[in-house]
Amino acid sequence: MAERRIAFNDVLFRDKVVLVSGGATGIGRALVWILARSGARVVTCGRSPDKLDALRSELADHGHEVLAVPTDIRNADAVAALFAQMPERHGRLDLLINNAGGQFPQAAIDMSANGFRAVIDNNLLGTWSMMQTAARHWRDTNTPGSIVNVVAVVDRGILGAAHTAAARAGVIYLSKTVAVEWMPLNIRVNCVAPGTIFTEGMAGYPEEAKKTFARSNPMLRLGDPWEIAEACLFIGSDASSFTTGEILRVDGGGQLWGEQWTQGKPDYFAG
Ligand SMILES: CCCCCCCCC/C=C/C(=O)SCCNC(=O)CCNC(=O)[C@H](O)C(C)(C)COP(=O)(O)OP(=O)(O)OC[C@H]1O[C@@H](n2cnc3c(N)ncnc32)[C@H](O)[C@@H]1OP(=O)(O)O
Ligand SMILES: NC(=O)C1=CN([C@@H]2O[C@H](COP(=O)(O)OP(=O)(O)OC[C@H]3O[C@@H](n4cnc5c(N)ncnc54)[C@H](OP(=O)(O)O)[C@@H]3O)[C@@H](O)[C@H]2O)C=CC1
């Protein structure tokens, strides 16, 4: 990631301040790298301090300074404390990328109330807390802003992940709503919907399912975190100044062709 080619020029984010949630691994880590190399001042968060320390030192080895603050996005006080650090450190915020999130694969019929709620809490309520806190910051400082929410492709549901399908659909329609409500505040709100992307997050999925993931799109391959990061950069930056309320699917065409069973394909659908 220290060397990989970037599709955009290196002035697009020069001196911009960008907050990326969940930056220590996977798509978030690619985002932190690409933004740091594009001249942005990057702030990130995550629950695990160890993972954030590793990220910080990896970037420092290449001359990039990243502010990485242990924060659970489900905790409103922690989110407020995170935002309070930014003006102190960087003076402002230009872009928020809500990438933190996740779920576990399970048949909907077996989900416990608490398991369902945990995924809604993480992906819908946590993301909303970040969005609203950022919008209040931009309103109170009378400065423009941009939000990118990393969601998922929900057009055909997400088999074996009903809780996250519900949460992501919630984020998408929340985004469309505030894209209009917050335009008087000069805040753009867009979503990037990744298809199946090879990240550390895949560790929680059964081997039987992982073997079939490449057939979830007509490219017959998994996506790379860098491919999602570049899409987030495009839609979050001034390169997309006339775009708001949009969903950019980056899924190798998976919304058109392919099957994705997060727990393996049931016999009923085989053959
Ligand atoms: C986008 C789609 C692409 C799907 C497409 C497939 C492509 C795969 C590629 C990867 C896609 C990714 O999104 S990768 C991102 C993956 N990363 C993550 O998921 C990290 C973040 N996730 C999490 O932290 C957890 O999954 C989450 C549940 C949301 C939050 O955790 P908590 O600490 O709050 O949870 P806990 O307190 O431990 O548990 C709360 C309840 O959830 C239940 N629970 C927790 N894990 C469970 C499990 N594996 N199986 C059953 N049930 C589980 C517990 O039993 C509890 O219920 P009770 O027992 O009833 O109390
Ligand atoms: N990979 C894929 O195929 C797809 C991924 N996505 C979504 O893209 C995003 C990134 O996923 P990916 O990179 O694959 O997965 P990872 O598990 O690698 O990354 C998720 C990151 O979010 C952080 N995180 C999770 N919950 C919280 C929380 N409550 N507060 C703060 N940080 C949190 C994690 O760190 P920590 O555990 O330390 O908190 C972790 O670094 C997620 O929202 C994911 O669901 C969507 C579609 C497909």
Is 88's pLDDT higher than 80?
Answer: no
The ipTM (two decimal places) reads 0.96
Round the average pLDDT of the chain to a whole number and report it.
96
**Which DSSP string corresponds to 152-173?**
---BTB-BT-HHHHHHHHHHHH
Give 102 Cα–ligand 2 centroid separation in angstroms: 5
Is 206's pLDDT higher than 80?
Answer: yes
What are 100-149's pLDDT values in tens digits? 999 999 999 999 999 999 999 999 999 999 999 999 999 999 999 999 99
Q: Does the residue 70 lie in any domain?
A: yes
| Whole-angstrom distance, CA of residue 81 vs CA of residue 98 | 17
**Which DSSP string corresponds to 17-53?**
EEEEETTTSHHHHHHHHHHHHTT-EEEEEES-HHHHH
Atom of ligand 2 nearest to the CA of 28: 13
Q: What is the CATH number of the domain that holds 183?
A: 3.40.50.720
User: 3-state DSSP call for residue 187?
Assistant: strand
What are 251-266's pLDDT values in tens digits? 999 999 999 999 989 9
What are 101-113's pLDDT values in tens digits? 999 999 999 999 9
Residue located nearest, by CA, to atom 9 of ligand 2:
99
Q: Does the residue 231 lie in any domain?
A: yes
Q: Does the residue 179 lie in any domain?
A: yes
Q: Does the residue 87 lie in any domain?
A: yes
Task: Write out the residue range of the structural domain in which residue 226 sits.
Answer: 17-204+222-256
Q: Does the residue 76 lie in any domain?
A: yes
| In the chain, % of residues over pLDDT 70 | 100
Average pLDDT (226-230) is 98
Q: Does the residue 236 lie in any domain?
A: yes
Is 7's pLDDT higher than 90?
Answer: no
- How many domains would you assign to the chain? 1
pLDDT of residue 75: 98
Task: Give every CB contact of residue 13 below 8 A, 6+ residues apart in sequence.
Answer: 35, 38, 39, 40, 233, 237
Residue located nearest, by CA, to atom 35 of ligand 1:
118
Q: Does the residue 264 lie in any domain?
A: no
Is 9's pLDDT higher than 80?
Answer: no
Q: Which residue ranges have their beta carbon within 6 Å of ligand 2?
A: 21-22, 24-28, 45-48, 51, 71-74, 99-102, 122, 126, 150, 152, 194, 196-197, 199-201
Q: Does the residue 185 lie in any domain?
A: yes
Give 267 Cα–ligand 2 centroid separation in angstroms: 30
pTM, entire model: 0.97
Task: Give the ligand with the smallest distance to the CA of 194.
Answer: 2
* Residues 96 and 31: beta-carbon distance below 8 Å: no
pLDDT of residue 271: 73
* Residues 246 and 150: beta-carbon distance below 8 Å: no
